Structure 1
């Protein structure tokens, strides 16, 4: 049975916890572990890497495009675009491996075919082979509300709805504390760049995280896909803070591509550049990953925008964010 994330799926009843779970999305792998079900995981995607203990699980997927570390944003974008033009999947699922582990539940997503393995990557024949006793659970979060809702849906279909409720309450409590502490503070203008070439700003839940952390989001809309943007629009906004968080990129890889941004006309004149408020963030593990560490992402931003009030979050420095200087 294919279970998509929607309000009507919330009431999943008292379902039995699956004995074998295959997770094809990093955020959902983290969610399974946060729900105390890591021992039930029997396979993962090539991108699932947290907690570190899951890396010993069988890898069930691979990308169809070249993933050489020498490729930059523009080359990756071109490779992905060519696959989409040919109506080909960007990722490949190893049917043989997946059938071998005989999962009772497969976790995937149908929000973005570019960002991660999606529902469409599971062929019709594979679904038939998995059989009616295997639930394919496919959330599609577009903002924070639907993300948290998807956590509850997944928890319910994995037989631990009460753990899902506890996790959501914990995340919402952390959000509420941030809102309370930043409510009376100045709200700097913030632009979040989610892809360097071509330029894209961070949509979906990124604008909400910025607002929760005490910033004013510019050039993207919560609940909508990340838009392509012209450089002159960023210059026109002239944000107080510029966040660089390419989807799927660790900090080290983003650093290697900053020259592309620095070479753009007017870079040195930007307020964020002149005041030292350009930050590189780990878009792979935090901001672009719809998982239980979403509250960590908001806390990192609060520290960046208002460090005098959030020094305790400095533990994320270097692993979750760095201040960038040209």
Structure 2
């Protein structure tokens, strides 16, 4: 959901699930010839069939959208048994049971939503609720959560406490990305936890190749400021400065890996950006356009070029489609049109 970042989550303590998975690989194996090419081929086939059965038996619950996208990109869509309320890609995950819900209405205008998040946060109550009974009924082997931001998704502490009661044997995998490299490392972490390490290596390598292909050598490197929230304004931190650099820009504002700070429009103007990217966290492109409309004169006055982007699906979600955000920004900085479902240049009139 769209909101400002809260205090950074604490780093996970390294608990690992105690359940052992592998005994079933040894069950029902037919005796095979020990020698010869036919025997080797038969054993390879048996091994592949056993692995296929093992993957089908792994039950995965993802409690943040980025994790769901990683799991699906690894080819494990059929292993997903539960998701968070915010998981929306691929589209068919909507048919899965939702395990979380927000305590605030994400459809509120930016300023009211910011106030409501602050109010709930000040009470010490969690911003998200996790359905313990449903989690127990689904009985996942792997639960993927996060500790990067308590305002972005259900907190790590909540997940570990509920999982300990509901499915004590489950392996809780905690993602805590703060840099672009961490996002790629998380792909491997999820792959390893789900028993598909080789797929994780392959997917990470493919994403790295796309990032390298997006890098540009420009005579003058444009300074780029990214707005993560409009009212009140926030400058994007965490992995976003790395994404800007990967697209061939010079990131303005917070250093890579640092939290996203509040800022005034005068402070944004003082950065003297050559280009401005507006990608409110939790907003798709249509909502970004609506929220930006009353601020269009202000935004145009901040930089010669302004790009509106679907921050919810691409730039602010630390999953595989973050690479698409880099590719989109690189093309836009090259002067090419990127108008479409991901982004659009701020027109003369919204």
Q: 1:268 to 1:253 in 2, by over 3 A?
A: closer
Structure 1: tracts of 5 or more residues without a match: none
Q: Distance in 2 between matches of 1:44 and 1:134?
A: 15
Instruction: State the partner residue of 1:282.
Output: 310
Q: 1:150 to 1:81 in 2, by over 3 A?
A: same
Instruction: State the partner residue of 1:56.
Output: 95
Shift of 1:257: 1.4
Runs of 4+ in structure 1 displaced over 6 angstroms?
13-16
Instruction: State the partner residue of 1:73.
Output: 110
Are 1:271 and 2:310 an aligned pair?
no
Q: Distance in 2 between matches of 1:4 and 1:159?
A: 21
Are 1:143 and 2:179 an aligned pair?
yes
- Aligned pairs (5 A) from 1:5-44: 17=55, 19-44=58-83
The size of the alignment, in residue pairs, is: 303
Structure 2: tracts of 5 or more residues without a match: 1-10, 23-53
Shift of 1:117: 2.2
SS at match of 2:61: strand
**Which of residues 316, 321, 325 in structure 2 aligns to 1:293?**
321
**Which of residues 249, 253, 273 in structure 1 aligns to 2:283?**
249
**Which of residues 141, 155, 161 in structure 1 aligns to 2:197?**
161
SS at match of 1:122: helix
SS at match of 2:227: strand
Q: Distance in 2 between matches of 1:52 and 1:185?
A: 41
Are 1:209 and 2:243 an aligned pair?
yes
Preserved contact between residue 20 and residue 103 of structure 1 (Cα < 8 Å) = yes
Q: Give the number of the structure whose alpha-carbon radius of gyration is greater.
A: 2
Instruction: State the partner residue of 1:237.
Output: 271
Q: Distance in 2 between matches of 1:324 and 1:92?
A: 37
TM-score w.r.t. length of structure 2: 0.81
SS at match of 1:242: strand
Instruction: State the partner residue of 1:111.
Output: 148
Q: Distance in 1 between matches of 2:186 and 2:172?
A: 14
Cα RMSD for the two superposed structures: 2.3
Shift of 1:124: 2.2
Q: 1:28 to 1:188 in 2, by over 3 A?
A: same
Shift of 1:177: 1.7
Instruction: State the partner residue of 1:84.
Output: 121
TM-score w.r.t. length of structure 1: 0.87
